[in-house]
């Protein structure tokens, strides 16, 4: 199927539903859940580390 035709089938909400199944998103969510369970609430550091990870 042509990409143009394929994309026309989706609303943004439907794209987001698919995006939440992205392995990268799931891993980050899982990491955050683990950190929360350790009572570490430093949100800035979490995002800082994600940025570092994305840069390599």
Partner 1 sequence: MQELQYNNVDRWYDFLITSRYNKRLYNNKRKRLEKFVMVYNDLVQYVSLLDHHNNMFAFRNNLSDAMKQHPHNKTMAFAIKMYGYGARIVTKNFISYPMDIVIPLDSRLRKIYTEQYSDTNSTDHEIVTYYQQLAKTNNIAPLHLDSLIWIDYREKYG
Q: Pick the closest to residue 24 from 46, 44, 54 (CA basis).
A: 54
Among 12, 37, 38, 39, contact with partner 1 (rule: CB under 8 A): 12
Q: Where in 20-39 is the site for partner 1 (CB under 8 A)? A: 21-22, 24-25, 28-29, 32
Q: Cβ contacts of residue 18 below 8 Å, gap of 6+? A: 10
The least CB distance from residue 17 to partner 1, in Å, is: 10
Q: Pick the closest to residue 28 from 4, 47, 7 (CA basis).
A: 47
Question: Where on the chain is the footprint of partner 1 (CB under 8 A)?
Answer: 1-4, 6-8, 10, 12, 15-16, 18-19, 21-22, 24-25, 28-29, 32, 43-56
């Amino acid at each position: 199927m042509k990409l143009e035709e394929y994309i026309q089938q989706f609303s943004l909400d439907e794209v987001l539903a698919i995006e939440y199944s992205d392995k990268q998103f799931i891993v980050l969510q899982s990491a955050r859940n683990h950190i929360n369970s350790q009572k570490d609430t430093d949100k800035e550091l979490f995002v800082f580390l994600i940025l570092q990870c994305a840069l390599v």
